[in-house]
Amino acid sequence: MEIKSEWGRLNRVIMHRPGTEITYAMLAPKPFLFERPFNYSIAKREHENLQQVLEENGVHVDILEDLIVNEAERNSSFRRKLEEKILSLVNFYGTSESMENARKDMEKNIGYVDSLSLFQALIMEPSIDLKEYVSGIQYPRVYSNLPLANLYFMRDQQAVSSGVLIGNMKMQQRRKETDITSFVFREILGAKIKSIKNGFFEGGDFIPAGDFCLIGKGNRTDEAGAEEAMNSGIFNFDRIVIISNPIYNFMDGHDIMVNMHLDTYFNIPAAGTVITSVELAKSAEATVYVRNSGNTYSEDSKTTLYQFMKDEGYNFIDLGISEQLSYSSNFLTVSDGKIIAIDSSRVIDKLLAENVFDSSTRDRIIKDIQMRKGKMFPDSKEIRESGVDVIKIDLSEITGGYGGAHCMTSAVDRA
C-alpha cells in the first residue's frame, strides 16, 4: 500500500456506492454541500459504470459496504468492534426509564442484527425519540444525526503515500466520515495510519509526483493542516510544495468549487504533463520545502504552481473556465498517459440549465464554450495532440455532489 506518483499504474481503489443517505441531500442540496440535485437512479448507474471501467482496466475495486459487511461476516473480532461502534453511535431520547430500557434492549439484541443493517446504521447514525402515547406503548420518532451524503467522495477523508494519513475535514457535515475510513484502513486493511489532529487536511489537496508532492491549502485544507501533513512522516518526498488554491480574479472568493481542493483545477495525467487552468496555476502562490536529515522539512523558496511545474520540465494542457468548472481536472489517472475523464460538455450543459452560476461567471463560460466551438475536454485539440489516452465516461448526474472520478475514488495502491 504505497503511492509515489499520480501517474503510477493504479492497482486498487475503494469506492462507496451512494445509498439512502443521498435522499436527504436531494431534498436540501446546499446544506449537504452539493452543487445541485440530481437523479439518484441515473447517478447510481454512473457510479456502477465507473467501477466497471476501472475493473476493465485492471484496477481492483473495493466497495466500502462490501469491505465492512464481508469482514464482519468472516471475522468475529471485527464484528464485535463494529457492534461496539454502533452502540456508541445510536442515541435514545425519552424518560430516563425508557432510554435505559431501550439501550439495554439494543445491547441484548445487536448480536442478531445482520451486518448490512449495522453498516447502514453506521452511515445514517440514527437517534430514536421514545414517547409513550398509550400506557406501555411508545411511539418512536427516528432522526438521523447527519446522514453521510458526501461519503461517496472517497478521496477526501485521507491521503495514501507511505502509509495512510487520515484527514481532519473542515466542514462539519463531513467530519464523521474519517471515523469510518480510519476504521476500515486500520481494522481491515491493516495500514500504517496517522491522523491530522490540529489543522484541517483533506485528500483532494494531495497530489504525489515522484520526488516531490503537492499539497493545496485554502477552502478546506488550512495552513496548519498542510504543515502537519508535511511533517507527518507519511509523505516520503525530497520536496513538498504547499500551494495556496486560487480563484479567478473576477470572483469575490465565495465560489467554493473553484478552489475547494487542488484537484478541482490541477491534475497529472502522465509523467511530465499537467492538466490545469493555467490562469489559476499562475496565480497560485507556492512555497517549496526541502527535506532535512531528520526527516523534517524547511522552507527553501517561493514561487507559483505554474512556475514550479514549468521549472520541473512539465508540459501544460490548459483548461478554459468552462472546462475547469465542469470538473475536467478531476479525472483519474489509471496509468502513465491514460485517464478516466468525464464528458465535460454534458456537465456544463446541466450546470447552465440549472442556473448554478452568477451572471458574470455564466457570461464568461458561454464565451469560452463559443470560442472552443463545442470541442471541450476531453475532446479538445490539446488533448488529442498530447498523446494522453482518454476513457470518456458520463458522470453528469453524480457530479452534482461536487466532484468527478478523482474525488469518487480512494487510491490505495499504485505501482
- Provide the β-strand partners of residue 378: none
Q: Give the model confidence (pLDDT) of 33-85 as tens digits.
A: 999 889 999 999 999 999 999 999 999 999 999 999 999 999 999 999 999 99
Q: What confidence score (pLDDT) does residue 129 get?
A: 94
- Is a pLDDT exceeding 80 seen at residue 253? no
297 contacts: CB under 8 Å, gap ≥ 6: 230, 231, 240, 289, 290, 291
Q: What confidence score (pLDDT) does residue 254 get?
A: 59
Q: How confident is the model at residue 132 (pLDDT cuts 50, 70, 90)?
A: confident
- Interhelix angle 115-124/64-74, rounded to 10 degrees, is 140
Specify the amino acid at residue 169.
M
- Is a pLDDT exceeding 90 seen at residue 144? no
- Is a pLDDT exceeding 60 seen at residue 255? no
Q: What confidence score (pLDDT) does residue 135 get?
A: 80
pLDDT > 70: what percent of the chain?
A: 99
328 contacts: CB under 8 Å, gap ≥ 6: 275, 319, 341, 342, 344, 376, 377, 378
Q: What is the mean pLDDT of the chain?
A: 94
Q: Give the model confidence (pLDDT) of 261-282 as tens digits.
A: 999 999 999 999 999 999 999 9
Q: In what order do the strands lie in the sheet with 10-15?
A: 60-63, 10-15, 410-414
Backbone angles phi, psi at 19, to 5 degrees: -130, -140
Q: What confidence score (pLDDT) does residue 373 get?
A: 83
How far is the C-alpha of 152 from the C-alpha of 68, rounded, in Å? Answer: 15
- Is a pLDDT exceeding 60 seen at residue 186? yes
The beta strand positions in 265-382, using DSSP E, are 266-270, 273-276, 285-291, 297-304, 315-318, 332-335, 338-342
Q: How confident is the model at residue 304 (pLDDT cuts 50, 70, 90)?
A: very high
Q: Give the model confidence (pLDDT) of 337-380 as tens digits.
A: 999 999 999 999 999 998 989 899 999 999 999 998 878 999 99
How far is the C-alpha of 157 from the C-alpha of 176, rounded, in Å? Answer: 9
Q: What confidence score (pLDDT) does residue 183 get?
A: 97
Q: What confidence score (pLDDT) does residue 256 get?
A: 61
Dihedral in degrees, nearest 10, Cα atoms 189, 208, 216, 337: -110
Q: What confidence score (pLDDT) does residue 110 get?
A: 97
Q: Give the model confidence (pLDDT) of 102-115 as tens digits.
A: 999 999 999 999 99
